[in-house]
Structure 1
């Protein structure tokens, strides 16, 4: 019977350091792309000449690229570790550019304005709770493509299931309706 021999691969110190740098860079990049405004000092509207996303992308790619090159070279001397660092820079520059472009695209993405009470006027919907003459019922309308449930008043009683038309927005959550 052969003795059980466990083999352990020793990771070079340079590789471990590069991997730690890469993990830190990716963590900061993830937070920056999610909009946490990490490391946002001074004037809140000033990003500076280089974005946080670009720096974090550079650091992450530098760390992982350096670790790959370090392992491929079997770098155990300072000269080979410096060569591995140069390989990390080669990987980091395009990654920083892509991260910067992605961050800018996310920040500058056009969005629709938030609907206001004026957008309620003219909406079509259905009565979901009967609307009495002297009180409020409930209606469901679509505003900006989303279903919204609102309190509703009317000049005459309206039963459940009746199609309605919003005539006036009394507040952000209540409307005056007529049958359609």
Structure 2
């Protein structure tokens, strides 16, 4: 019985603003998770404003409007309009911030993906002895990550010896020398 009384105590305007805010948060979560919301419509629907900006604006407008509506005790259309204005005051900087953050994330510079050419010159250790006529295993660091590779050498190299990569034979095997 108490939950029904609590629901009656929430103004209709506040409930509408909370629903608008919740819709904005759901759309923002979907946009940030990488789903293409409008692919089902077919065609390219991107415009000058991103989905993240619209969702941020909607969420801040809804929750800001709900807060102002409760503070004003809005029961009349004039006070609800004032609450909507308060929601817009919260929504505009939020949309601007969402625009800046989403643009920064899209344009973020990243390191290139390491290729087999990045292995040449890498330092490492022998983890399985390298015989003169076969393959052993070495562990090297490429772009800060440890990588275990098959290794050949001109002469036998025992476990624990420091090596450097002279040549890449394939994506997973290298020719090494002692360091």
How far apart, CA to CA, are the structure 1 residues paired with 2:159 and 2:75? Answer: 79
Alignment of 1:125-144 (within 5 A): 125-144=124-143
Shift of 1:130: 1.1
CA deviation map 1:53-79 (0-9, x unaligned): 110110000000110111111112333
1:42 aligned onto 2:43? yes
User: How high is the TM-score relative to the length of structure 2?
Assistant: 0.88
Q: Secondary structure at the match of 2:146?
A: strand
How far apart, CA to CA, are the structure 2 residues paired with 1:42 and 1:54? Answer: 20
| Match of residue 108 from structure 2 | 109
CA deviation map 1:7-66 (0-9, x unaligned): 9441112111211211221222233234334335623xx741111111011000000011
Q: Secondary structure at the match of 2:48?
A: coil
| Match of residue 71 from structure 1 | 70
Q: Secondary structure at the match of 1:164?
A: strand
| Match of residue 3 from structure 1 | none
How far apart, CA to CA, are the structure 1 residues paired with 2:36 and 2:168? Answer: 38
How far apart, CA to CA, are the structure 2 residues paired with 1:107 and 1:34? Answer: 13
Q: Secondary structure at the match of 1:150?
A: strand
How far apart, CA to CA, are the structure 1 residues paired with 2:37 and 2:165? Answer: 45
| Match of residue 14 from structure 2 | 15
How far apart, CA to CA, are the structure 2 residues paired with 1:82 and 1:141? Answer: 65
Q: Secondary structure at the match of 2:109?
A: coil
Number of residues of Structure 1 aligned to a counterpart in Structure 2: 174
| Match of residue 60 from structure 1 | 59
| Match of residue 147 from structure 2 | 148
User: How high is the TM-score relative to the length of structure 1?
Assistant: 0.88
How far apart, CA to CA, are the structure 2 residues paired with 1:122 and 1:103? Answer: 38
How far apart, CA to CA, are the structure 1 residues paired with 2:115 and 2:37? Answer: 32
Shift of 1:178: 1.1
